[in-house]
Amino acid sequence: MPHQNCTAISLIGMPGVGKSTVGALLAKRLGYHFVDTDLILQQRAGATLQAVLLRDGYQALRDQEAAILLEIPLHDSVIATGGSAVYSSAAMQRLAAAGPVIYLYAAVEVLADRVGGLAQRGVASPADHSLHDVFAERAPLYARYATHTVDTSGTTVDEVVNDVCQCLP
């Protein structure tokens, strides 16, 4: 059953933190729609994130993600954003107006174990940026826009879903 005062629950965070996995389970638990902006972007582009990144560049990937976040319906939805969503203040303001923005956090060392390098992840950052560089650049933005932070390091997906539910009004 949808929570009072929640039109949308948005999940932000680094690649590999579990936004898509947690989002799908959270939506199922709450009876919400599940929206994965990475999947929408790939479907519209007819290509993987990595292929879009190689073809169009990281700024275009960020712009496409922002455009999706500005137009998708938010009603009774859990939104798994792409990791670069926080570069668009307009998109983040829209998500924040619709409900809680949950920062799924994991230490950079945990992320490195989960995703390895960024080479095939389709991460919207300059090609010479390492995982540590991307983390250092984005972590302050995630913290700025988040209404709540849930640490996913050393926890199960079910524990993370439970922790996110504790953040909801």
Paired tokens of 119: 């080479």
Per-residue CA distances from 4 to 1, 74, 98, 119 (Å): 9, 15, 12, 41
8: Cβ–Cβ under 8 A, 6 or more apart, which residues?
Answer: 74, 75, 76, 77, 78, 79, 95, 98, 99
Q: How confident is the model at residue 16 (pLDDT cuts 50, 70, 90)?
A: confident
Higher pLDDT: 110 or 1? It is 110
The share of the chain scoring above pLDDT 90, in percent, equals: 65
- Structural domains for the chain: 8-158 (3.40.50.300)
Q: Distance between alpha carbon 148 and the CA centroid of its chain, in Å?
A: 14
Q: Rounded mean pLDDT of 140-154? A: 96
Q: Rounded mean pLDDT of 39-53? A: 89
Q: What is the pTM of this model?
A: 0.91
CB-based contact 47:54 (threshold 8 Å): no
| pLDDT over threshold 80, residue 123 | no
pLDDT number for residue 53: 81
| pLDDT over threshold 50, residue 1 | no
| pLDDT over threshold 60, residue 167 | yes
